[in-house]
Structure formats: structure tokens, C-alpha cells
Structure 1
Amino acid sequence: MAANTPSFTKIPILDYSLSTSPTTKLQFLSDLRNALINVGFFYLINAPISPETQQNVIQKGMEIFDLPLEKKLEIEMINSKHFLGYSQLGAEITARKQDYREQFDAGPGEPLYRNIRGPNQWPDEDAIPGFRQAMESYLAEISPVSDAFRGLISEALDLPPTALDPYFDDPQQLKMKLIKYPPPESSAGETQGVGPHKDSEFLTFLLQATPHPGLEVQNKSGDWIAAAPVDNSLVVNIGRALEAMTGGVCVATTHRVSLVPRNFVDPTGASLGARFSIPVFLGMGLDLSGDQITLQIPPQIKELIRDDQVRSDAEATFNRIFSGRTGEGTLLHRVISHQDVGRRWYPELLDFALQQQQQGTGG
């Protein structure tokens, strides 16, 4: 966190269109630098994703959860060693607790960790016409945005625009989730939609597909700041990988989804139904290791981080993420999150990961 800067109390809004004009780009980079260093989250408005593409992915993303259970189980994630496909309610674990959500994961002769990439499990076209096209169209339009942010983040840190390019595969690694959070069964207490965590990848681009509140971001004072949906926006947040490789300059911020009953009704008290969201995760090259990272943050940027604990945590995270290949760490994370898939396809790795977690060394 920048010296003498109080904890943030709201999520900044950045206008992507400012980054495309020479007359406004410097303002965008200044706003981005503040978000990277002091918050770790921001709303991105006016990203070049067509309303039709966005509406289609939302519509088809909702429809897949309405399929009969037997149709969804035909593409269940446990059938895929690539962690792609449908997950039943409560199948994923975050912060060692079950998440109350259904989801569908999709993405675009080698080491084991290469198995995290593979063919998608698409539902029967007759059961949900146009689903695959809607997913692929959305990924095709968000890909240039995620690609551009490698250069924009570099420039915001006073680095050459191509400084981060060597750390990504070509094509870059994108993974999309379709997530449904049903209304909680109990009107008392709070249900974990997804528990407090930091994303492990480089960047996350989240489309909040319905008007529900519930996404919350924790500031340095420990307060939870609401990140309610904003029209025409994506929520972008920093992952642990970016924080680690910048020595804590870019901050990965803890966040969660709260399913308190009030988040499922509008101001008049009418039900909003289920909450839907669509995150896309930008990952780094699977074969990347620490000895390949030569990123040198300029002194004037490093000077903005005077918190020794931040630097220490970033260094520890760097050593953990990049001690081997990044793909190895990603696979361990997936095995822990989806233990049913891990038990079927990677039982020895799951046992190892659980042991590491019990010892307090897991991510």
C-alpha cells in the first residue's frame, strides 16, 4: 500500500475508452496505477465488448443451469481431467469450506500440469442451441481487452509496454466460469457463496450478470467494501501472480461473495431470484518459473510501497508460485478446489496437496 494512503472505502471506476486516445491515456494510466497499488480492484467501463455478445453469454449462461440434471451430469467436471465442465451445487471448496454455487468452466504427451488445458465439455447443441457460440464469442471479444492490459499495466508501472509479454503463452491462457448462486435456503445467518480468498492468476475480469449485491472486497483496515454491479462494467482484480512478480507493488485483495438474504431482494422487497456472474481469468505461461522473471520495477514505483510486511508477503508468494513451473501451482490449486476431480484423476497429488494445506503451506 502506498505510504500515508488510508484504506480505500470504494472501488474506483476506470473508463477503458480513455486508454485508446493519446490525449487521455496518461489520465487512464494514472488512475490504473492508483487502482493497482492502493486497491487491487476496479470497475472497467466502456470495454469494447458488444452488448449483443454480452447479452448472449448472460442468457445462455443462465439457460445451462436450467437443463435437466441428467443433461448437466453428461458434462460434469469430474469426467474431465482438465477441470472443465459442470460442477454441482457445493462441489467447489474455498477457504476449506463448501461454496454455495453451481458453475460451468470453459477455456480456450506433456508434463502433468499441462492437463489443466484440454477440450471443453460442451452441452448437447440440441439441448441448448447456441451455447457454445455464445461462450466462444464472448471469449473472443474479451481476449483483446485482457491482452491490452498487459501493456497498460506495464506502462502504469513506468515500464515499456512489452515488459510483461514474455511471461505469457501465445495464445494467452484464459478460463471462463459461469456461476449461479441460488438464494440461501435459510433466512437466518450468512451463507458462503464463495469464501474469502485472493485469486491466484494474473488478472480477473468479472461480469456481474444480475443486479444482486454480494461481492465484497476487504480493505487494509479489515472492512468489507461492497462492489455492487455498475452498468456497462466489468470488475477487474489483481491476482497473486501479478502481486508476486511486482514485489507487492500491485496488490491482490481478499474478496468474497456474501449470500445474506437481503442480497436477493430489490428495494421493494421483491425477489431477484438467483445471482449469476461470469468471471474470466487471465493466467500466466504454464512453463514459467522464477529464474525466468527479470522484471525490474523502477525505483520511483517501488518507493510507493513502504510497508515491509507487504514486501515480505509478496516475496513469500513469489517463492511459492514460481518455485517450480506456474502450471504446477495452478494444478495444485485446482485439485484442492475441486477435490472430486482430484480424487478421480490425481489422487496422489490431492493427498500431497491436502497434507501441505494441513501443514499451513498450501495457497
Structure 2
Amino acid sequence: MKEQFIKSVEEAVGGFLSQGQIAKLSEVLSECMQGYELTRKETSDEKCKRENGELLQAFLAAKKIEGCSEKTVHYYQSSVEKLFVNVVKNVTDMTTNDIRNYLAENQRLKNLSKVTIDNLRRIFSSFFAWLEDEDYIPKSPVRRIHKVRTDSLVKEVLTDENIEILRDSCIELRDVAMIDLLSSTGMRVGELVKMNRDDIDFQERQCVVFGKGNKEREVYFNARAKIHLKKYLNSRNDDNPALFVSLKSPHRRLTISGVEVRLRKIGRIANIAKVHPHKFRRSLATMAIDKGMPIEQVQRLLGHVKIDTTLRYAMVNQTNVKMAHRKYLT
């Protein structure tokens, strides 16, 4: 830093002093600065960026302690950092209009869906609410930004016939076992790929999974899944502890993308559109509620913290609504 300062002085006086005078000035400056530490003063933009970054890191640390997954923490970080880039202010000075305009511009320029915009709003709400709780700001500016109303679309589910066709389209024992486990437990694909052979209790037809935030819970599978899981595991000759592995040597643990690609391929063979792991989960929730399982038990089965999430997953069969109306209201 000292050398940079002296060089800057030399350049500044270069048009007024001779080379000899500049050399002497540099020598005097170097001697006078012995024993001193020179630091460059931050610009206002640099200070703002540093302070915002420090607060964000503290917030992310709090989220990790709360049990948020690395994926969720990364989503929080990237979303808030983009806000910092577009709204060049200290977070303590950001207003409701700053954030509202940022969301509106994102929706207009990037043509983002209402769901995506509301996800951003929720992330900013969490961040600024934390700043308020920690006394960095008196009141969150996101409080006055209301939930974005999204279109309520009835999402497709897999029928019993669809699942049978998918099974019949499988060539490998692994794929049949995977479809049976997903359709009978409703587990997340992230939970599926983390499972080991030892997690399966064939006697009780249940298994332990680790959900979001590494929360452990039990899920249950049917007799068909038990039979096909046993057949698949008995056919393996590798020593990988993972429950589902790749078909080819060295038989590595299946990844989320690996499962998604495989199910899409089976869906194409079966001529069934949009086959993905989450569709099995939504189908199970719909079927469970449709058959009368209490919503609280469905919530526990799926591992949801809030019952509102369970209600979003489950779409009650319209025919049964019609029958219930005739039974109770006519």
C-alpha cells in the first residue's frame, strides 16, 4: 500500500518536478512513512457492499443453524445478492418501494411467473424479518408487500392405471422397485437417493428417510414394493450400501438427476406425459385424502411442517366432491 501511495504522488507531481526532485521526494516519503501503517479509505459503495455482505452471511449462518439444507441456503444467498446488485443501498436504508420495484422489474424484464416472484418475496421477507428481530432495522420493509396471488391450477396426478403401465414398461428390476417405492411411500426424490439398504425394514414394511433439514421420519410401503425391492436387492452383486445404484459397473449411488432422467425415459416408452418423481408424491397425497385419510396423518406421512403445504399437494377427486354433496347437502 505504501509503494502504491508513493507512486501515486510521483505521478501527480510529474509535471512540476524534475526527475531528480521526484526521486528525492520519494526517498523522503519512504523514510517518513517508516513505522506507519497505510490503509486505503473505503468508498461509500465499497462500505455498503461490505456491510450488506456481512449481514447476509450472518443471516445465512442463522438459517443453517435452523436446519435449512445447503440447497435452500444457496437459494437464499443468490436471491438476496441479486437484490444487492440492483438496489445499491445499505440494507438498513432499503424501502418498501425499492423492493417492490425490484420485484416488478424482474417480472417485467425476465417474464418470471407469479410463483417465482412470490418465492422471492418470501425470501426477502425472511431476510428483513431477521434483520428486524436482530435490531438492525426498526421494521421490515417487506411487511407491506402482500403475498402474490397465483393461479390455482389443478396439477396432474398418476392414476392406478398409469402406474401399472409404467411398471409394465420397465425392463430392469431396479426401475420397478423404484416406481413401487415412490408410489407407495410418497417420499421425496432427495430422500430416495439418500437411502441405504440397511434403512429398509422388510418385516414391518417401513423405512427411515432423511427429509429437508436432515429430519428423520418413517415411511411405509406396500406388499408389492416389498416383493420387488427384495427381487432387486437379491439380483445385485455389488457391495455399495446405497439402496439404488447405477446399472453399470462400478454401480454408483443414483443421483436425483439420474432418477429423473430414468423416469422420463420410462414415461416416454409408456406414452405417459410428464413423469417425474414429484408426481408420485402428489398422487399419493391426493389418493390418501380422496380415500378419507385425515389431513394431519397425510401431513405426517409426507413430512410437511405446515399443513398448508399438504393441502397444496392434495387435489381431492371432483367425483367424490359431487357424491359428498349429494350425501350431506341434498
TM range (shorter): under 0.3
TM-score after normalising by structure 1: 0.19
Q: Which has the higher strand share?
A: 1
Q: Looking at CA atoms only, which structure, 1 or 2, has the larger radius of gyration?
A: 2
Structure with more contact order per residue of length (Cα contacts < 8 Å, sep ≥ 6): 1
Q: Which has the higher helix share?
A: 2
